[in-house]
Structure 1
């Protein structure tokens, strides 16, 4: 399982998405991984950045973690766009997100 934390008050751009994708591939060495993507306090995520996240073929599941109505709105817009062929779910409670991801993390290592 891997945690990615987007910086609060940030606007996530295409360059951020590209950097994350490259870093993800380096960390996982191409193996499938369940990802906790923390979006708490993020101001916006560009469509171009979402394209990079959606091309993350090594992700077995994305849990989106946020805490506010704005976070929920961003997560909803993220889920409405193209995502990799894996489950994506929004959570406000970290432990629930981690529990949900555990099933996918187990499947990624089998």
Structure 2
């Protein structure tokens, strides 16, 4: 996994066609974090489209500006948003309620289910 300077976000490769973005527990994810994440994801994938497992477990907050940057990620074919707590669910609801890329997105509490779903929607 590759860490950004502030270590609020970690980007890595999970398997063929699937990347993982992990938001650090307690982090307040900003637009700058979003921009760095987009750059890291593009470098990791070489610009190829693929699914993303977005792990928000325990994150403090995600700014609207960061969500806008993630929304502009044209190389993302599907977002599986992973969380485990009631607060994660509230944050995910906010993420799902804002414009995401024109791709499927779902919230999961189980990583295996999220990965199976990504595999299904990515063909």
Normalised by the shorter chain, which TM-score bucket? over 0.9
Give deviations 1:8-66, integer Å, cap 9, x for gaps: 01000000000001111111111101000000000100000001100000001000000
Q: Distance in 2 between matches of 1:105 and 1:12?
A: 27
Describe the SS at the equivalent of 1:25. helix
Partner residue, 2:84? 67
Partner residue, 1:99? 116
Q: Tell which has more relative contact order, 1 or 2 (C-alpha 8 A, sep 6+).
A: 1
- Provide TM-score, normalisation by structure 2: 0.84
Equivalent position to 2:64, from 38, 47, 50: 47
Structure 2: state its 5+ residue gaps.
1-17
Q: Distance in 2 between matches of 1:21 and 1:76?
A: 21
Aligned residues: 106
1:58 aligns with 2:72: no
Partner residue, 1:26? 43
Q: Distance in 2 between matches of 1:32 and 1:11?
A: 27
- Alpha-carbon RMSD across the aligned residues, in angstroms, is 0.8
